[in-house]
Every structure is written in structure tokens, then in C-alpha cells.
Chain A
Amino acid sequence: MSLLDSSLWEVIKASLSPDIWKDLWGPIGETLYMTVVSSLIMLVFGLLIGILLTVTNPDGLVPLKASYTVSGWIINCLRSLPQMIMIILMIPVARLIFGKAYGTNACIIAIAASCIPMYARIVESSLLEIEKGKIEAAQAIGSNNLSIVFKILLPETLPSLIRGFTVSVISVLSMTALAGMFGAGGIGDIAVRYGYQRFQHDRLFACVYILIILVQLIQGIGNLVSKQILKTRNLI
């Protein structure tokens, strides 16, 4: 049903009908799969790079000015690439790994590559929030740098890290919709194929509902978990 020949109200009604939703569960699964896998890859590499940035910061535990400057510069370059260009750039990489340049798994590479630099910066800014005094206390106690990172730095900033991860997962979700245009399947694919190419606005609307619900869900869970941690620590 299209807005070109039906009223808004009729399109909304149609967008809620079982006929439309029965074709949506598969794409929802694909979107969730892409979001979860990309987010996990982003989490691992983003954390790692974020920690390295924080540690090698000129004011950090192991100041390495040259390495910090160079990696910061590379991250900024990667971050200045629009997501769509990142997807195009990653096509050969995906072909190398999966043997084909399109599909869900190929797009996961592009999504992770695009979101890792962003998440690394978010991790860095969370880690820099720690009170300097806590690091100092840990050093005065005689902790080595590995203990300081894993027993002090990460646990102390955990609520902020979780909030940053929540925001980043939402970015990943929105990028999966974009990846739909490049053969990744999922909600984005439905929106483009039916909503854009065939003017089936009822299906487009349904896609919008799903994205709204997913974003609310992710944000809600993130807020809840980080709040619960702050509560346990008696900080709120």
C-alpha cells in the first residue's frame, strides 16, 4: 500500500497487519544477527584500541607520544570516512575473507571497520574520566600497569563504558540498515526494496517501528545496567 493512492491512516493500519509482519521476522533476525556480531567485534577491538590510546597518552601510564599521535591520526582518518564509503572500501576485504563481496557477513566486516574507530574514541574518553588520584593510589600501592588497567581503570569506569557501548550499538544498528542497500539483508533491505523501490509505504512504516523499538530496547537495557552498577556502588 502506498501513500500515493491511500491515506496516511490506511497506510498505518496496513502497516500493522499480520500479512506484512509475517515477512518481517526473517529480516529482523538478520538485523539482530548483524548487530550482535558487529557489536561484539567492535567491543573487542574498540576496547583494545581505546585502552592502548589511554595508556600511551602523554599523561598515561606508558607515555608513547609518537605511537599515540600516529594512531590518533589514523583513527581520525577512518572516522572521517562516511559509512557508505567504508562499506564500498571493505568490499575487496570481504571478498578476501568470505570469497564473496556481498551478503550479511561481508557487511559485518564493513560495519565493524566503521564503528571500531568511533567506539575506540568513546572508550578512550570514558577511561580518561577516571580520577587521577585512583591511579596514583594504585601506583603507590605498588600495582603494575596490567593490574592498574584491569583491576582499577576498567572496573572504575564500567558504568561510563557501558553507556558508551550502548550508544555505539545503536550506531551499529543504524548502519545495518544502510548495509541493507548493499545486499546485507535485514530491515534496511526491506525498507529499500519495498519502501523505496516499490512505494510500499506500509512495509516501510513497519521497518520504522522495528528500528524505533530496537533502539529503545538497547538504550533501555544500557541505562538499566549502568544505573544498577552505580546503585550497587552507592554512587547514586
Chain B
Amino acid sequence: MKMTAYLKINDLHKSFYPHGKTLKVLDGIDLEVEKGEIFGIIGFSGAGKSTLARCINRLETSDSGSIELGGTDILKLSKSELLKERHRIGMIFQNFNLFDSMTVYQNIAYPLQQARVPKAQIKERVLETSELVGLTDKLKVHPGALSGGQKQRVGIARAIVTNPDFIISDEATSALDPQTTIQILDLLKEINRKSGITILMITHELDAIRYICNRMAVLEEGKITESGLVRDIFENPNSKTGELFAKVFRLLQSVELTQGGGI
């Protein structure tokens, strides 16, 4: 089956200049993510993963290159067009970044208010979404009263409530324990299956990628050093990072075999 690329990134560059030094963080990124897939990007801390994620919805301004998302040239959008476009891109964060001053309901409703959705529809959408993520009994409390896993469910609800076509997940499970991680990954899988939403899963956890992604790319010092099927990369890595992750993967597998434990 031939799929169409939903996200197309071409020769993307981004440098920072801390204290007068030049720091090339993204050094010619090429990437294609198909519509409806969960695509993984793995890389060590400092590889430039978050910067790449933030360039896609222009939280960060890239220096050169092109980003096309669902046929829209992201880098050519005017400021007001960009705000509208962001309603169609959900983002999930490692630290959840929920609003403590709002209840769970208000957190989930906020993106709808910003998108100027009529009041009656807001209530319907919030209830629908909170049911999907399993939070219907927590709508009246503030995020401060929730566990990490529940917080991330709110984060996911907030990201999908406007029915976006695309979700950027930047280390969404990296602050969670293994059991909760699996539950959150299952939830993302379910959302992807039900609505066909395209998900870019950025992480440094190989288990998460292995569990949820079909295709992936390895980001190393600002370059995509390899990309393809997750299975192929784990079995036959061609980059330093890929090799290292594959080695850890095999090591963990042997531990699992001897101890009979899972992740």
C-alpha cells in the first residue's frame, strides 16, 4: 500500500549561539513521516530532538530548510496563520506542562476556547475526549492532585481535543514509571488507531519506540544517521547511536530471558 508523506522536512538547519560560540544543533535534517503512522525519533540527550520538535510548530525559528505538514508550508505562514495552524498540531511534553490554575476540565477546554469553538460544542468535546483518555471522574480537580500518569492523560487530552491531524510527543513517557509508560503508549496507540492521527514520537527510550512505532529515525549530533523499519534498525544498525541502542536492546533482552521480567 502506497502511503502519502504527511510531514516532509528538507535540509533543516538550526544553530544556537550561546556566549558567542556557534552550536549547530540541526545540521541538515531530511525526514518523511507517512500519514497515520507513529514514527519514532531516537537520540541521546542533547542530540537535538527537542529542537527538531519545536521547529516543526515554530516554537523555534529554524535557520534554513523547509517543513511541510499536511501540504502546508509551515515556514511560510504569517503569524496569525501560524496560530491557526497550531490548533491542528497537538504537542505532548515530558513535564506535562499543565496549567495548575485550571481544573482538568478547564485544561482540556483551553485549546477549544483558543480556537474559538462555540461553548456548547466545547462541553461535548471535553467530555468525549476525557472519556477516551479515562479521566471522566477527575474533571473537577486541579492537576496538582493527579499522579504522573493521570497528568499525562490530561496532556494527551489537551493535545487531541481540537481533533488535530498531527501530534508531536517530546519524551511524553520519560518522566513515568514503566507500568504507566505502557499505559500511556497503549493510549497513544488507541488514539492513533481510532482517529488515524499521525504521531511523531520523540524519545531516548528504545522500549517506547519498539513498543509503539513501525518506522523510526536515529538522530545523532544534528543529523539523521539512519531511518527505516524499527525491526531493521535494531537488527542491523548502521550508525553509532543505532549500534549503541541495539547493543543495549540485546543486553536487556538477555536480562529479560534470565530473569523472566518485562519492561
Whether the pair B142, A234 counts as a contact (CB closer than 8 A) is: yes
Q: Across the interface, which residues of B come within 8 angstroms of A151, CB to CB?
A: 110
Q: A85 in the interface, Cβ–Cβ < 8 Å?
A: no
Residue of B nearest to A140 (CB): B91
Residue of A nearest to B141 (CB): A234
Q: Across the interface, which residues of B come within 8 angstroms of A234, CB to CB?
A: 141-145
Whether the pair B100, A235 counts as a contact (CB closer than 8 A) is: yes
Bound together, the chains give a CA A147 to CA B114 distance in angstroms of: 8
Q: B97 in the interface, Cβ–Cβ < 8 Å?
A: yes
Given contacts A158-B101, A233-B142, A233-B144, contact A140 B89 (CB under 8 A): yes
Q: Across the interface, which residues of A come within 8 angstroms of B83, CB to CB?
A: 142-144
Q: B76 in the interface, Cβ–Cβ < 8 Å?
A: no
Q: A131 in the interface, Cβ–Cβ < 8 Å?
A: yes
Interface residues of A in 110-142 (CB under 8 A from B): 131, 133-134, 136-142
Q: Across the interface, which residues of A come within 8 angstroms of B110, CB to CB?
A: 138, 141, 151
Whether the pair A141, B111 counts as a contact (CB closer than 8 A) is: yes
Q: Across the interface, which residues of B come within 8 angstroms of A138, CB to CB?
A: 99, 110
Q: Across the interface, which residues of B come within 8 angstroms of A134, CB to CB?
A: 97-99
Q: A155 in the interface, Cβ–Cβ < 8 Å?
A: yes
User: Secondary structure at chain A's binding surface: helix, strand, loop or mixed?
Assistant: helix
Q: A152 in the interface, Cβ–Cβ < 8 Å?
A: yes
Task: Compute the total of residue contacts between A and B using a CB distance below 8 Å.
Answer: 69
Bound together, the chains give a CA A226 to CA B158 distance in angstroms of: 27
Whether the pair A156, B100 counts as a contact (CB closer than 8 A) is: yes
| Chain B residues with a Cβ closer than 8 Å to the other chain, count | 28
Select one of A133, A144, A155 contacting B97, CB under 8 A. A133
Q: Across the interface, which residues of A come within 8 angstroms of B93, CB to CB?
A: 133, 136-137
Q: B130 in the interface, Cβ–Cβ < 8 Å?
A: no
Instruction: Output the least CB separation between A11 and chain B (Å).
Output: 51
Q: B8 in the interface, Cβ–Cβ < 8 Å?
A: no
Q: B115 in the interface, Cβ–Cβ < 8 Å?
A: yes
Mask for A223-236, Cβ within 8 A of B = 1, else 0?
00000000011110
Q: B57 in the interface, Cβ–Cβ < 8 Å?
A: yes
Interface residues of B in 127-147 (CB under 8 A from A): 141-145
Q: Across the interface, which residues of A come within 8 angstroms of B85, CB to CB?
A: 142
Most B-side CB within 10 Å, residue of A152, A232, A233, A234: A233
Whether the pair B142, A142 counts as a contact (CB closer than 8 A) is: no
Whether the pair B97, A136 counts as a contact (CB closer than 8 A) is: yes
Whether the pair A141, B158 counts as a contact (CB closer than 8 A) is: yes
Bound together, the chains give a CA A21 to CA B70 distance in angstroms of: 77
Q: B95 in the interface, Cβ–Cβ < 8 Å?
A: yes
Residue of A nearest to B107 (CB): A137
Whether the pair A143, B101 counts as a contact (CB closer than 8 A) is: no
Given contacts A137-B91, A140-B57, A142-B84, contact A152 B114 (CB under 8 A): no
Q: Across the interface, which residues of B come within 8 angstroms of A143, CB to CB?
A: 83, 114
Whether the pair A131, B101 counts as a contact (CB closer than 8 A) is: no
Q: B86 in the interface, Cβ–Cβ < 8 Å?
A: yes
Interface residues of B in 23-62 (CB under 8 A from A): 54, 57, 59
Select one of A139, A140, A158, A232 contacting B142, CB under 8 A. A232
6 CB < 8 A contacts A-B: A131-B97, A137-B98, A141-B110, A141-B114, A143-B83, A234-B142
Given A138-B110, A140-B59, A147-B114, 11 more A-B residue pairs with CB atoms under 8 Å apart are: A133-B95, A134-B99, A136-B93, A136-B97, A140-B57, A140-B86, A141-B114, A142-B83, A142-B85, A152-B99, A233-B144
Report B's interface with A, CB cutoff 8 A: 54, 57, 59, 83-87, 89, 91, 93, 95, 97-102, 110-111, 114-115, 141-145, 158
Report A's interface with B, CB cutoff 8 A: 131, 133-134, 136-144, 147, 151-152, 155-156, 158, 232-235
